[in-house]
Amino acid sequence: FSIIGLICYVFAITAPPPPAQTAFWSLNMCMSGSATSCEECLLIHPSCAWCAQEDFGRGRTLTSRCDFSQNLQKRGCAARFIEYPTSSISILQNRPLSSKGSGSTQYDVVQIMPQKISLSLRPGDQTWFGLQVRQVEDYPVDLYYLMDLSLSMKDDLDTIRNLGTKLAQEMGKLTSNFRLGFGSFVDKNMSPFSYTAPKYQENPCNGYKLFPNCVPTFGFRHILSLTDKVDRFNEEVQKQMVSRNRDAPEGGFDAILQAAVCKDEIGWRKEAYHLLVFATDDVPHLALDGRLGGLVQPHDGMCHLNDKNEYSASTKMDYPSLALLGEKLAENNIFLIFAVTKRLYVIYKNFTALIPGTTVEILDQDSKNVIQLIITAYNNIRSKVELTVWDHPEDISLSFTATCQDGKPLPGLRKCADLKIGDTVSFNVSVEARSCPPRGTDQSFTIKPVGFKDRLEVAVDYQCDCGCSRIAQTNSSICSSIGTYNCGTCQCEPGYLGARCECQEGEASSMHLSACREAEGKQICSGRGECSCNQCLCYESEFGKIYGSFCECDDFSCARHKGILCSGHGECHCGECKCHAGYIGDNCNCSTETSSCISDDGQMCSGRGNCVCGRCQCTEPGAFGDTCEKCPTCPDACGTKRECIECRLFNSGRIADNQTCQRLCKDEIITVETLKTDDPGAVLCLYKTDNDCVMKFTYSEHVSGLSILAALQEPECGGGPDALTVLLAVVGSILLVGVVLLAVWKLVITIHDRREFARFQSARSRARYEMASNPLYKQPVSTHFVETDFNMYGKSYNGGVH
Ligand SMILES: *[C@@H]1O[C@H](CO)[C@@H](O)[C@H](O)[C@H]1NC(C)=O
Ligand SMILES: *[C@@H]1O[C@H](CO)[C@@H](O)[C@H](O)[C@H]1NC(C)=O
Ligand SMILES: *[C@@H]1O[C@H](CO)[C@@H](O)[C@H](O)[C@H]1NC(C)=O
Ligand SMILES: *[C@@H]1O[C@H](CO)[C@@H](O)[C@H](O)[C@H]1NC(C)=O
Ligand SMILES: *[C@@H]1O[C@H](CO)[C@@H](O)[C@H](O)[C@H]1NC(C)=O
């Protein structure tokens, strides 16, 4: 029995929901929401409309005044009674973008277009507007150099003594209007941050063997207001002396805040880029560190410079928080450049994630590279446009699509990188209001590219009211004189019910029960309400609101993520999450924002993965990192790092002439005599240089987040032969082989001949002895005997003829 029960149970939980119901819901959410007034109807969905015609739908069983507009017309509602507002946009100010910054009328430089728009939003109805941003050429620049003057920066101070002139020269190539200022900081002059014993008051270095003289500790001192006379900068820097504090962290964040908010003293111009270079070789004190010295008052974000241009609240207030710092920097359009030693790169890199508009560059131990660093950071800043939204109203969701210089729309992205000065980028901004604010509140917000003074002001009003509500009649005869006739319906006085307020609550109404069932056999009012006068009165629930003609809907039974309904990014509507703009998914936990997936080189997840819900999912085996940027084992790892080796070591290659090198290649590059190739985490890369040498390097990822490239000092050249040599060698060797072959042949022939001759000789000499036995040999003399008898001479002659 229990097994059968289990099977039934399993079937029950795996069975799909009845199709008819889902179809009904997805077909017409306007009707199922059972709106009782025009305003409620408009809120259900932006495609819902309300029919305010008095005699609409009379006499039918299922009738709703809330429906799609075309359905209402089909069902006999006259067009003039249909309430169907939509979102709209009007552009109020649209001055064209400027092309040049420093000119006769600087105050009129326009870098964003349009400048003012007004939106009229119907909740849920998405609409969009476009905006264009241009990094105008030759824009004025203000640069404030904020320097750590603690003892360890002594050698840096020596290096920057003539910084002003050189920096002005370099910046002169980028802008014709450049101003420079200077300030310095150490730390709060109180225990435990500094030495406070009397003997240290005048000279904190008192008794310090290596460097016995220095100036008293100070929090922040503004030394030179922004000026175009760069010699003044040199002069002031010459005069500076280092000081000394006790603990390792410095009080730099106090100084940054003062430099940002003391606009008049520092002299920030309204119509200029504001760069704040923060040079230090140690970590900063953060908010709450002040408690160590008994400072409990949080920073108030105000300027506190006294008449000696020193920060006077240094020993009265705590260090500022990162949030406060970020807010004040953004408010004053200041780009903060952390120029820090390599050891601190990762820490400050982490700060940049928390303070918008901030970059980190690696400062050499003695600040030698500071000019290059500033130029790089400046180009870096000017090569990107990033939009920020100010005073963003809670109930308005914005989603951006950037179209950068390549013309490809990048959804979910609100920034463009790798721009050239003068490039124009455009953004498509989708806006959606989620709800109606209390009547009479008008909202507005501002869209501003980071660090620009230019802004787009957006005023918002809401399409939440129905026109017909304005002519509502109280105690109308249509509503039995006990209700308000409004947009075709009666809103009855308490205690009265019914379409015409014809029933009184509590009246026996069992005869009307059937009208309260969604279908035959279903519970009355879905078991979550009471039937009264043909209508369901839904129970109140501690979880939320139960609604619908049959109390079949509620606003709490939706998908949750981590226990939060619709992940907090959507509205629960009758079992379904309606996600706010910028979010998708059943439980709205998936952000469509993709900017966090863009790697430093501007590619989506470094081209090694996909951006899923705002996070990179690396598909390339071995790839890791927030944007899949790390991948020692990827096939192209050597290729990408090769460019860094080329540009950093030899100033050549694809990204050499370009600031891109500095920006894309933050890796630590060490040069070695011989490469260690036995490290399992390191990949050996080699490539052929233009002059046919072979360059070798290894690539490994370090725990600090920086990757390490160990390279040979220079390419290995085998002193390779040139083409002529090769040709000659080939021809020569062919000839040589030929000659050798000939010689061998000759030798073989000669030996053979000799042998033959010897044999001949021996055969000949042998022949001499054997001649006699030669069967062919014929005696030259042959003897014939002739038998004759000569008797005439009396004797017998026996002879022959020869
Ligand atoms: C920087 O942030 C990363 C990830 O957010 C963290 O793993 C790392 O420990 C942080 N580094 C420092 C030095 O704070
Ligand atoms: C802007 O985005 C919306 C959707 O988000 C789209 O319908 C519209 O066509 C886009 N406009 C432009 C000019 O690309
Ligand atoms: C409507 O009727 C109620 C009582 O039925 C009365 O108190 C109220 O004054 C009437 N209002 C108007 C505007 O006539
Ligand atoms: C979103 O929610 C689904 C279901 O709970 C979960 O599988 C997924 O991992 C979540 N995604 C994110 C990005 O949190
Ligand atoms: C800088 O380098 C990028 C590629 O790395 C290239 O697309 C761009 O044209 C270069 N810019 C200049 C000014 O050379």
- Measured in angstroms, how far is the CA atom of residue 16 from the centroid of ligand 4? 22
For residue 564, give the ligand nearest its CA: 4
The finding on whether 619 has its CB within 6 A of some atom of ligand 3 is no
pLDDT below 70 — which residues of the chain? 1-28, 32-34, 57-63, 101-107, 506-513, 657-659, 703-705, 719-723, 767-778, 786-802
The finding on whether 203 has its CB within 6 A of some atom of ligand 5 is no
For residue 616, give the ligand nearest its CA: 4
pLDDT score of 773: 62
Which of 693, 603, 685, 682 lies closest to 644, judged by CA? 685
162-189 exposure pattern, b = at least 16 Cβ within 10 A, e = fewer: ebbeebbeebeebbebbbbbbbbbbbbb
- Measured in angstroms, how far is the CA atom of residue 562 from the centroid of ligand 4? 9
Atom of ligand 1 nearest to the CA of 350: 1
Contact in structure between 331 and 358 (CB atoms under 8 Å): no
Tokens of 482: 């006990």
The finding on whether 473 has its CB within 6 A of some atom of ligand 3 is no
762-794 exposure pattern, b = at least 16 Cβ within 10 A, e = fewer: eeeeeeeeeeeeeeeeeeeeeeeeeeeeeeeee
Distance CA 279, CA 739 (A): 75
Q: Ligand 1: residues within 6 Å at CB?
A: 346-347, 350
- Measured in angstroms, how far is the CA atom of residue 350 from the centroid of ligand 1? 6
21-33 exposure pattern, b = at least 16 Cβ within 10 A, e = fewer: eeeebeebbbbbb
Distance CA 283, CA 150 (A): 12
List all residues 6 or more positions away from 11 whose beta carbon is below 8 Å from its beta carbon. Answer: none
Angle subtended at Cα 63 by Cα 62 and Cα 66, rounded to the nearest 5 degrees = 130
Helix (H, G, I), strand (E, B) or coil at 360: strand
| Domain residue extents for the chain | 3-84, 91-137+386-462, 141-383, 560-593, 637-712
Contact in structure between 404 and 410 (CB atoms under 8 Å): yes
pLDDT score of 58: 60
For residue 601, give the ligand nearest its CA: 5
Atom of ligand 5 nearest to the CA of 659: 1
Paired sense of beta strands 784-785 and 535-538, if any: unpaired
For residue 402, give the ligand nearest its CA: 2
pLDDT in tens, 55-84: 776 644 446 788 888 888 888 888 888 999
Residue in 137, 382, 600, 660 to alter for ligand 5 test, most ligand atoms within 8 A of Cβ: 660
Output the pTM of the full model.
0.63
- Measured in angstroms, how far is the CA atom of residue 358 from the centroid of ligand 1? 17
DSSP code, position 513: G
Nearest residue (CA) to ligand 1, atom 12: 347
The dotted CATH code for 637-712 is 4.10.1240.30
Contact in structure between 466 and 50 (CB atoms under 8 Å): yes
Nearest residue (CA) to ligand 2, atom 14: 428
Give me the DSSP letters along 389-424: EES--TTEEEEEEEE-TT--EEET--EE-SPPTT-E
pLDDT score of 13: 39
Nearest residue (CA) to ligand 5, atom 5: 655
CATH of 91-137+386-462, one of 3.30.565.10, 3.40.50.12280, 2.60.40.10, 2.60.40.1510: 2.60.40.1510
Tokens of 63: 């009738």
The finding on whether 383 has its CB within 6 A of some atom of ligand 5 is no
- Measured in angstroms, how far is the CA atom of residue 243 from the centroid of ligand 2? 58
Tokens of 122: 């119907």
Reported residue count of the chain is 802
Helix (H, G, I), strand (E, B) or coil at 706: coil
pLDDT score of 23: 34
Q: What are phi and psi of 183, to 5 degrees?
A: -150, 165
Distance CA 659, CA 789 (A): 141
Atom of ligand 5 nearest to the CA of 657: 14
Contact in structure between 593 and 613 (CB atoms under 8 Å): no
Helix axis angle, 163-172 relative to 370-382, nearest 10°?
A: 30
The Cβ-side half-sphere exposure at 119, using a 13 Å CA radius, reads 29
Tokens of 460: 């918002």
- Measured in angstroms, how far is the CA atom of residue 418 from the centroid of ligand 2? 24
Helix (H, G, I), strand (E, B) or coil at 248: coil
Tokens of 697: 């390097």
CATH of 141-383, one of 3.40.50.720, 3.40.50.410, 3.30.565.10, 3.10.270.10: 3.40.50.410
The dotted CATH code for 3-84 is 3.30.1680.10
The finding on whether 132 has its CB within 6 A of some atom of ligand 2 is no
Distance CA 613, CA 427 (A): 21
The finding on whether 474 has its CB within 6 A of some atom of ligand 3 is yes
For residue 382, give the ligand nearest its CA: 5
List all residues 6 or more positions away from 33 whose beta carbon is below 8 Å from its beta carbon. Answer: 40, 41, 44, 45, 48, 66, 547, 548, 553, 573, 574
How many Cβ atoms are within 10 Å of 369's Cβ, its own excluded? Answer: 17
The finding on whether 660 has its CB within 6 A of some atom of ligand 5 is yes
The finding on whether 379 has its CB within 6 A of some atom of ligand 2 is no
For residue 659, give the ligand nearest its CA: 5
Domain 560-593 -> CATH class: mainly beta
- Measured in angstroms, how far is the CA atom of residue 592 from the centroid of ligand 4? 13
The finding on whether 430 has its CB within 6 A of some atom of ligand 2 is yes
The finding on whether 655 has its CB within 6 A of some atom of ligand 5 is yes
The finding on whether 426 has its CB within 6 A of some atom of ligand 2 is no
Distance CA 347, CA 338 (A): 11
Tokens of 583: 């979010």
For residue 479, give the ligand nearest its CA: 3
491-530 exposure pattern, b = at least 16 Cβ within 10 A, e = fewer: bbeeebbbbbbbbeeeeebeebeebbbbeeeeebbbebbe
Tokens of 284: 């900063």
Atom of ligand 3 nearest to the CA of 482: 5
Atom of ligand 1 nearest to the CA of 346: 13
pLDDT score of 8: 37
Strands (E) across 598-706 are located at 609-612, 615-618, 668-672, 683-688, 694-701
Strands (E) across 568-608 are located at 570-573, 576-579, 583-584, 590-591
Nearest residue (CA) to ligand 2, atom 1: 428
Nearest residue (CA) to ligand 2, atom 11: 428
Atom of ligand 3 nearest to the CA of 475: 1
